[in-house]
A = this chain, B = another copy of it.
Amino acid sequence: MVDMSFLSELITDSAAKIVLFVLDGLGGLPNPDTGLTELETADTPNMDNLARNGICGLLDPVAIGITPGSGPGHLALFGYDPIRYEVGRGVFSALGVGIELGPEDMAARVNFCTVENGIITDRRAGRISTEENSRLCTKIGKINVEGMEVEIVPEKEHRAALVLHGSGLSDRVTDTDPQRVGEAPLKCEPLPGAGGEAERTAKIVNEYIGKVAKLLAAEHPANMILTRGLAKHPNLPKMTDLYALKAAGIATYPMYRAVAKLVGMDLIDAGPTIAGEIEALKGAWDKYDFFFLHYKPTDSRGEDGDFDAKVRAIQEADAQMPLLMELKPDVLAITGDHSTPAILKMHSWHPSPVLFHSKWERRDNVETFGETACTGGGLGRFQAVHLMALMLANGMKLEKFGA
């Protein structure tokens, strides 16, 4: 566990502008035909130029061999050790769709799914449309359990956020999503020894799901829900307080807006494309000194297993770099929150390549931005949680430690 709390005592003021550009799931694995990863295959003249004039390396989001979820991957980049700051999946879902979580509220991530004869046949109900999702949420939105206000809000496709607005609840309960088809949905159970609040919470969740199942019985394909990651708001310390930064988050997907909000960033609205995001960045430039810019397609195409589409997604991001560099950020870090190799079709444990550009860094011999080149980069390989200190240092926002 890495305790970066001493950073707060070193914070000093500077006018520097820092940009953290996260290409979600950037890192990859080689295409067996060429031996080159997605990033190495992509034609990225702008990032290559930055790499030549900057310093590169590799980041382990959580630890060597650990495959991070998007939450931990981003928290690390913001300087929060993801092992110390565990945030339930439900919290990201709820914050992502704009639900305000009270200190006693509990949130879960929901999948609409298909159940036949009591057995799950599709954990995503054929990825129903967001519109269908909305209709179903309205239909089951009136359900209350034990007089408790229950809120269900659609995310994209088959995903929704469930919030129990109440008190005396506990997150020490199990998921109802077995994470595989061919099994029945699980009952929500209190963890061993978790006590009365967990027992009550499990009872409420099961009663709620029972009522949902009845209301959805005649629907198809989404005739049931699965819950996971039931959790309370973690109340993380804010970046504003920790680093005295005016921080802006620019992200189009709910999950990433949620994680930005969780650490105290202001969310800047942007169009759905990277060009729109950079337009938003420009608009907010004078009002903030730290910018988190999130780009989703690299991860999506990796999860699709579409190597060539991920290559194109990287190229589309690269094409926008000149617009970003027109703003002349004092410090720019380009990296991923984790790797998503197309040949694995999932997040992976491989370190993320990082490209760091600042007037005050040494140069290295890296000529192109790619995983193998980054292996010999001047930054070496380190835990992502340290990146924030490096960005702050290069922005002259950190005093000397000790005499």
Interface residues of A (CB under 8 A from B): 1, 3-4, 6-7, 10, 29-30, 35, 37, 58, 62-72, 82-83, 86-89, 92, 109, 229, 344, 346-350, 360-365, 371-372, 375-378, 380-382, 386-394, 398-403
> Which residues of chain B are near A3, meaning CB under 8 Å?
1
> What is the distance, in angstroms, from A234's C-beta to the closest C-beta of chain B?
12
- Residues in B with CB closer than 8 Å to A390 are 64-65, 349
Whether the Cβ atoms of B349 and A393 lie closer than 8 Å is yes
B58 and A400 form a contact (CB under 8 A): no
State the CA gap A92–B402 with chains docked (Å). 11
Flag if B389 contacts A63 (CB, 8 Å): yes
Residues of chain B within 8 A of A10, CB atoms compared: 66
A402 touches B72 (CB 8 A): yes
A-B pairs with lowest CB-CB distance, top 8: A65-B389, A89-B403, A380-B381, A69-B402, A72-B402, A65-B390, A64-B386, A65-B393
Chain B residues with Cβ under 8 A from A37's Cβ? 362
- Chain B, Cβ-Cβ closest to A338: B400
Number of copies of this kind of chain in the complex: 2
> What is the CA–CA distance of A35 and B394 in the complex, to the nearest angstrom?
19
Instruction: Evaluate contact between B63 and A386: CB separation under 8 angstroms.
Output: yes
Instruction: Tell me the interface secondary structure of chain A in the complex.
Output: loop
In the complex, what distance in Å separates the CA atom of A255 from the CA atom of B138? 67
Contacts of A371 in B (CB 8 A): 362
A-B contact pairs, 29 of them (CB 8 A): A6-B83, A29-B362, A35-B363, A64-B386, A65-B393, A66-B389, A66-B398, A67-B393, A67-B398, A67-B399, A67-B400, A67-B401, A68-B400, A68-B402, A69-B402, A71-B402, A72-B401, A72-B402, A82-B401, A82-B402, A89-B402, A346-B400, A349-B389, A349-B390, A362-B371, A364-B372, A365-B372, A372-B378, A375-B376
The answer to whether A66 and B365 touch across the interface, beta carbons within 8 angstroms, is no
Query: Do the beta carbons of A71 and B403 come within 8 Å of each other?
Result: yes
A256 to B387, CA, bound (A): 31
Given A64-B390, A389-B65, A402-B72, do A375 and B372 touch, yes or no (CB 8 Å)? no
Residues of B within 8 A of A400 (CB): 67-69, 346-347
Could you tell me if B363 and A372 are in contact, using CB atoms closer than 8 angstroms?
yes
| Chain B: minimal CB distance from A339 (Å) | 9
- Contact of A402 with B30 in the complex, beta carbons under 8 Å: no
**How many Å lie between the Cα of A65 and that of B395 in the bound state?**
11
Q: Which residues of B contact A4 (CB under 8 A)?
A: 63
Question: A391 to chain B: closest CB distance in Å?
Answer: 8
Q: Is the CB of B35 within 8 A of A382?
A: no
Residues in B whose Cβ lies below 8 Å from that of A378 = 372, 375
Chain B proximity of A93: nearest CB distance (Å): 8
Given A6-B83, A71-B402, A402-B86, A65:B386 Cβ within 8 A: yes
CA–CA, A213 and B340, complex, Å: 66
In angstroms, Cα B88 to Cα A381, docked, is 32
Chain B residue, CB-CB nearest to A382: B64
Give, as a whole number of angstroms, the nearest-CB distance from A287 to chain B: 25
Between A30, A35, A362, A402, the greatest number of chain B beta carbons within 10 A of the residue's beta carbon is seen for A402
Residue contact A66 to B35, C-beta cutoff 8 Å: no
Q: Which residues from B are CB-within-8-Å of A392?
A: 65
Point out which of A86, A361, A378 has the most chain B C-beta atoms below 10 A from its C-beta.
A378
Q: When the two chains form their complex, are residues B375 and A380 in contact, meaning their CB atoms are under 8 A apart? A: yes
Please name 4 further chain A to chain B contacts, defined as beta carbons within 8 Å, in addition to the given A66-B389, A87-B402, A344-B360, sorted by A numbering: A37-B362, A64-B390, A65-B386, A88-B403
Residues on the B chain within 8 Å of A71, using CB: 402-403
CB distance from A121 to the nearest CB of B (A): 22
Partner of A30, one of B362, B381, B386: B362
Chain B residue at minimum C-beta to C-beta distance from A83: B6
